[in-house]
Amino acid sequence: MMVSSPLHRKNVKPNLRKINSNDYIHSPSKKANKKIGQRIGINLSSFKPAKIIAFTVVAAFLGFIYLTHVFATEKLLGQVRQLQKEYEQSQQVYDDLRLRYNRMTGPVDIYRKAKELGFINAGPADQILEIH
């Protein structure tokens, strides 16, 4: 809308945007819906209740599948963590038994058992042998 002062009425440009009074229908009738749909570019008569219900059912089904997948994944994650915990416990038991075995077969125990059986310690291995 152009504003003009009373002194410059001759210099005012005409309004190029013409507004029809028929465009502003405030009643929810088919005629009003058609005009609104034409402005937006959507045919509002294509949205039938059956289509909306079908879309809602499909969306609910997809949501249900997604939630089922999420809960199944959480359950599997709990099982994996339980198995990891059991593995770590068995690994710790294995390490303890391996250390115990190494102590039983270690050099100190072997030397002690050899001495008990009557063997004599030969000392270091880098002795010089003399042959007569």
pLDDT by residue (tens digit) across 63-86? 999 999 999 999 999 999 999 999
Provide the percentage of residues in the chain whose pLDDT is more than 70: 64
Rounded CA-CA distance 129/132 in Å is 10
pLDDT band at 104; cut points 50, 70, 90:
confident
Instruction: Give the global pTM.
Output: 0.44
Domain count, the chain: 2
Q: What value does the mean pLDDT of the chain take? A: 79
- Distinct helix (H) and strand (E) counts, the chain: 3, 0
Q: Provide the pLDDT for residue 8.
A: 59
Per-residue pLDDT for 120 more than 80?
Answer: yes
Residue 28 domain boundaries: 18-46
Q: Are residues 84 and 71 in the same domain?
A: yes
